[in-house]
Amino acid sequence: GDSVTQMEGPVTLSEEAFLTINCTYTATGYPSLFWYVQYPGEGLQLLLKATKADDKGSNKGFEATYRKETTSFHLEKGSVQVSDSAVYFCALMIYNQGGKLIFGQGTELSVKP
């Protein structure tokens, strides 16, 4: 079945370090791909998205490119801040399956000053 696999956390970085959180997926159809962020004690916020192969989603300095050949959607940021500390979820959606989101297990990021 469809699934999403993320790198395990927690990931601990110093401020201004480069961030990569790996995400790979398995899907029978043509999914849209998303990154959601969950700050401590809060809900899920859409961070960025890509709807087809080679699309790049970007927001708040974060980027991810939809790579169909490697079935990946890795999240990157060039210089993280303490305020980026959160849990990041990769997810896929196949719209003609009713729009169900399938999430990865989440990766906790902790950025130290």
Distance in Å, CB of 38 to another protein, minimum: 9
Residues that bind another protein (CB under 8 A): 32, 34, 36, 42-46, 49-51, 89, 91, 93, 95, 97-106
Of 12 and 97, the one with the shorter C-beta distance to another protein is 97
Q: What is the Cα–Cα distance from 51 to 69, expressed in whole angstroms?
A: 15
- The nearer residue to another protein, 42 or 69, going by C-beta atoms, is 42
Closest CB 55 distance from another protein, rounded Å: 9
Nearest CB to another protein, comparing residues 20 and 105: 105
Q: In the 8-state DSSP scheme, what is residue 15?
A: T
Tell me the closest approach of the beta carbon of residue 91 to another protein, in angstroms: 8
- Record the tokens describing residue 65, joined without a space: 């490119």
Name the β-bridge partners of 21: 75
Q: Return d(Cα 58, Cα 47) in angstroms, integer.
A: 8
Tell whether the torsion through CA atoms of 69, 103, 41 and 59 is positive or negative: positive
